[in-house]
Amino acid sequence: LAQAVFLIEKGEQFLDMTALASAKKILLAECQGARRDSLCEYYLARVYLAEYIYYDQVRGDTAKALDSLAMAESTGRDAIARRPGDARVRVLMGRIYQVKLSRYTLTDLTRMMLDESPVVAEFNRALELDPGSGEAELGLGIYYLYIPRVFGGDGHRARKHFKKAAKLMASNPEPLVWVSISYREEGRLEDARIFLDRALAL
C-alpha cells in the first residue's frame, strides 16, 4: 500500500497515467476480502478522481472522464461506509461532489439546491471531525467562489475560508493563490498581487 500511495501522489501531482494505473493495479490486488486495509476504498477513489482530471483536462475524452468520475463517487461512498469518522474521506467526497457540480447546468443546480449542497455537507462534516482540516476550508472557499451568487456564491465568503486554510496549511502556497484568484475575479489586482507574492515566497 505504501508503494500505491507514492504512485497516487505522483499521479495526482503530474497527472501521470502510468503511475495511476500502477497504483490501481496494486490496490485492486491488495484490497480484497474483509480483512483488507480500511483505507483501500479511499485510495482507489483518489485514483479514479485523478483519472477523471486527466481525461477531462488533458485528453478531452468526456466519456472516459465521466466513467472515472462515476467510479470515484461510487468508491468514495464505499470509503465513507468503511471510515465514516475519517475527515480525509469526507474531504475527498466533497471534492468529488464539487467536480460533479461543476458539470451541472443552471437548471440542474436549481433543482439540486432545493436541498443542502452535498459539497458543503461533506466539507462541513470533515471540519466537525477535524477542525484543523485546511483542505476542507480550501474546498469550501472554492465552492463559494464559483457557485452562482443566487445559490450563495460570494467572493468575500470564499476568502474567509481561503484565509483560514492558509493559516492551517502555513507551508502550502495553494490557499494564498486562491485568495489572489478571488481578488482578481473582483478586479482588485493590487490585492491579488499581494497574496500571489506571498504564495511565490513559499
Residue-wise pLDDT for 64-97, tens only, equals 999 999 999 999 999 999 999 999 999 999 999 9
Burial of 63 (0-12, 13-18, 19+ CB in 10 A): exposed
Higher per-residue pLDDT: 109 or 196 = 196
pLDDT digits (tens, 9 = 90+) for 104-160: 876 666 665 555 789 999 999 999 999 999 999 999 999 999 988 877 789 999 999
pLDDT digits (tens, 9 = 90+) for 43-71: 999 999 999 999 999 999 999 999 999 99
> How much is the pLDDT for 148?
83
SS3 string, 100-135, reads HHHCCCHHHHHHHCCCCCHHHHHHHHHHHHCCCCHH
DSSP state, residue 31: S
Threshold 0.95, pTM exceeds: no
Q: Give the whole-angstrom CA distance, residue 125 versus residue 142.
A: 17
pLDDT at 9 over 80: yes
Q: Give the whole-angstrom CA distance, residue 27 versus residue 114.
A: 38
For 98-130, b/e burial (b = at least 16 CB within 10 A) is bbbbeeeeeeeeeeebeeebbbbebbbbbbebb
> How much is the pLDDT for 113?
59
| Average pLDDT estimate for 19-37 | 95
